Amino acid sequence: MLMNNSTDSARDHVEMALKAAEAFANDGKLDARELTAIIDIAERDSVIDQEEIRVLRNIIARLEPAEVTPALRAKLAELFDKVNNQG
């Protein structure tokens, strides 16, 4: 059940992108707390849909490997498990 075409879900990915832009603009980095806030937006409707996954991939692609803290790495692993075990 990855796809959810509700209007709220359609706005969620925009809100996620804006939240990420705000986080990166703040200090050029994304921390585990900021990523958690973005993931919380995606999970509001209990489903991370394809648009939200696309936004999350774009956010993750902006991370610099040297800046990935253990806390952020753990949050990324948790997200990976959630997305891969939906259905």
SS3 per-residue string spanning the chain = CCCCCCHHHHHHHHHHHHHHHHHHHHHCCCCHHHHHHHHHHHCCCCCCCHHHHHHHHHHHHCCCHHHCCHHHHHHHHHHHHHHHCCC
pLDDT higher than threshold 70 for residue 7: no
Computed over every residue of the chain, the mean pLDDT equals: 88
26-63 confidence digits (pLDDT tens) = 999 999 999 999 999 999 988 899 999 999 999 999 99
Domain count, the chain: 1
Range of the domain at 35: 7-84
pTM for the whole structure: 0.84
Please give the average per-residue pLDDT across 5-14, as a whole number: 73
More confident residue, 14 or 10: 14
- On whether residue 2 sits in a domain, the answer given is no
- On whether residue 33 sits in a domain, the answer given is yes
